């Protein structure tokens, strides 16, 4: 077996400690666009705690993706310029509290070596737990390192993605992003200059900074929240999406949604450029 494969598979980092408050919860909700209408009571519940009439603040389920920002299984020694986020799959074990001290246990699940000049996909998971040791959420991420394949790993096949129903969508909604949205979302943790620095974005081959893929992921959660979940964050059991193309801040994201029982399938596109930005999406409600 390849030594590089064994090295990656062995990566593990347990008991990473994090804490967050209602400030981070509200910032994330605002970062994915909730609260754009300051009179929308259903969205305000995620970005404002209420004053004259107090109400419990709600936590967007995909806040789990930034609750322990920076956690991971360890240094993978990859060519970072060639690394892109491929997929995110979050399972929600219980609703996230408004404020908490949490731990994160991270480990590599599998390594898919596609061969020389074809890259490698590394799947790793992070389990978030509360102070009692109870699971809050399990995050599975797939990282595609385009410049690191061909080290002799086993010939493994990645699991098939969720299939979108062949019929016409049951619902289609438009979600407008703000021109400054990436500048807000980056304050949730991801300071990659690709999303904020025009000069850096141009050197990376983009005409201007792009929106974080994980912001688009949160936007799709928002889309399910406002359609089939009636803004009930506790209804989410799972949220899965594959990233296929970037969104530019200010663009309109169009979501197509299909409902089959408790499973909501979805894809997202930017019609103005004729590109699909999210594929094989699935949210499970319960």
Q: What does the pLDDT profile of the chain (286 residues) look like in tens digits?
A: 689 999 999 999 999 999 999 999 999 999 999 999 999 999 999 999 888 988 899 999 999 999 999 999 999 998 877 888 899 999 999 999 999 999 999 999 999 999 888 899 999 999 999 999 999 999 999 999 988 888 888 888 889 999 999 999 999 999 999 999 999 999 999 999 999 999 999 998 899 999 999 999 999 999 999 999 999 999 999 999 999 999 999 999 999 999 999 999 999 999 999 999 999 999 999 9
Type and span of the H or E element at 170: none
Q: What is the bridge-based pairing of β-strands 120-129 and 236-243?
A: unpaired
Check if 195 is active-site: yes
All residues at 6 or more sequence positions from 84 whose CB lies less than 8 Å from its CB, including other chains: 143, 144, 146, 243
Q: Domain 171-285 is of which CATH architecture?
A: Roll (3.10)
Q: 89, 113, 124, 195: which is the annotated catalytic residue?
A: 195
Q: Which two tokens stand for residue 232?
A: 């009930």
Residue 190 annotated as catalytic: yes
Q: Could you tell me whether strands 252-260 and 135-145 are parallel, antiparallel, or unpaired per DSSP bridges?
A: unpaired
Q: Catalytic: which of 113, 148, 190, 256?
A: 190
E strand intervals along the chain = 12-20, 83-92, 100-113, 120-129, 135-145, 171-176, 236-243, 252-260, 263-270, 275-285
- Indicate the class that CATH gives domain 1-159: alpha beta
pTM: 0.95
Q: Can you tell me the distance from the alpha carbon of 59 to that of 139, in angstroms, rounded to the nearest whole number?
A: 17
Domain with CATH 3.10.129.10 in the chain: 1-159, 171-285
């Amino acid at each position: 077996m390849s030594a590089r494969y064994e090295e990656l598979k062995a990566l593990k980092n347990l008991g990473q400690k994090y804490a967050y408050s209602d400030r981070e919860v509200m910032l994330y909700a605002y970062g994915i666009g909730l609260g754009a209408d300051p009179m929308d009571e259903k969205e305000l519940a995620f970005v404002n705690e209420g004053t004259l009439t107090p109400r419990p603040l709600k936590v967007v389920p995909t806040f789990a993706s930034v609750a322990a920002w920076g956690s991971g299984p360890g240094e993978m020694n990859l060519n970072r310029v060639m690394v892109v986020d491929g997929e995110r799959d979050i399972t929600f074990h219980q609703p996230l509290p408004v404020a908490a001290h949490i731990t994160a246990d991270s480990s590599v699940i599998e390594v898919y070596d596609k061969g020389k000049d074809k890259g490698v996909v590394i799947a790793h998971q992070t389990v978030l737990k509360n102070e009692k040791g109870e699971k809050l959420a399990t995050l599975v991420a797939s990282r595609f390192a385009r410049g690191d394949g061909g080290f002799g790993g086993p010939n493994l096949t990645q699991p098939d993605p969720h299939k979108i129903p062949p019929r016409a969508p049951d619902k289609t909604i438009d979600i407008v992003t703000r021109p400054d949205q990436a500048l807000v979302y980056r304050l949730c943790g991801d300071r990659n200059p690709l999303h904020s620095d025009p000069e850096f974005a141009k050197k990376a081959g983009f005409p201007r900074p792009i929106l974080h893929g994980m912001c688009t992921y949160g936007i799709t959660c928002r889309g399910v929240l406002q359609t089939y979940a009636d803004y009930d964050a506790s209804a989410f059991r799972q949220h899965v999406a594959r990233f296929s193309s970037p969104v530019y801040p200010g663009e309109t994201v169009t979501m197509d949604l299909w409902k089959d029982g408790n499973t909501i399938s979805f894809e997202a596109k930017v019609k103005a450029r004729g590109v699909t930005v999210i594929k094989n999406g699935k949210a499970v409600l319960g």
